[in-house]
Amino acid sequence: MSGREDHVKYGSTPIHLGRAPDPLAVADSVVLDVVAAAILVDRRLLTVSKAVAAHVFYLPGGKPEAGESHQQTLARELDEELSAAPVDAQPYLVLSAPAALEAIPMRLTVYRCDLTSPPRLGAELADLRWISAVGLRAPDVLAPALRDLLVPRLVQDGLLAD
């Protein structure tokens, strides 16, 4: 039995006794957990686009599967998307923004890392680009979390060519 005793069930129909469900509590529980890699070479950032939305570029990565740690997710996603493994993955930033494809609230945990080998375009991907801050600011190219939050931080930290 859950802690909330504000309804009883008759058959399959819940009957509310006074307190309505809290819509904010419901909204809080629908945050997409996404793990991604910021891979920088010569102060350019590696971005990818997927076949399902070829015009939207974002960091390689994805959603954890059940029971996976973030490091395991990162390794699986980079293998699937780039045929490479992360090296020296370190937490860099946690960003809150709408998810570019699902358009629901997202928590994006960004790890900085290198790769064991040059990236190769995986089957799910449409394109792969190394971009400087100028390219990344183009409004129709980059997922909002990256354009508005990650790129300014990378420039501030001197990691991205302006």
Question: Which of 22/72 has CB closer to ligand 8DG?
Answer: 72
Question: Which of 143/160 has CB closer to ligand 8DG?
Answer: 143
36 is a site residue for ligand 8DG (CB under 6 A): yes
Only segment of 4-12, 13-21, 85-93, 138-146 that touches ligand 8DG (CB under 6 A): 138-146
Distances (CA, A) of 74 to 29, 42, 63, 158: 23, 22, 9, 24
Question: Which of 8/121 has CB closer to ligand 8DG?
Answer: 121
Distances (CA, A) of 134 to 8, 42, 139, 143, 146: 57, 15, 11, 15, 13
Q: Cα Rg for the chain, rounded, in angstroms? A: 19
Burial class (CB in 10 A: 0-12, 13-18, 19+), 111: buried
The binding track of 49-88 with respect to ligand 8DG, each residue x by CB under 6 A or -, is: -x-------xx-xxx-------------------------
Burial class (CB in 10 A: 0-12, 13-18, 19+), 18: exposed
Size of the site for ligand 8DG (CB under 6 A): 17
Report how far residue 89's alpha carbon sits from residue 37's, in angstroms, rounded to the nearest whole number: 8
Residues 86-125 within binding reach of ligand 8DG (CB under 6 A): 99-102, 106, 108
Applying CB under 6 A, which residues contact ligand 8DG? Answer: 34, 36, 50, 58-59, 61-63, 99-102, 106, 108, 143, 145-146
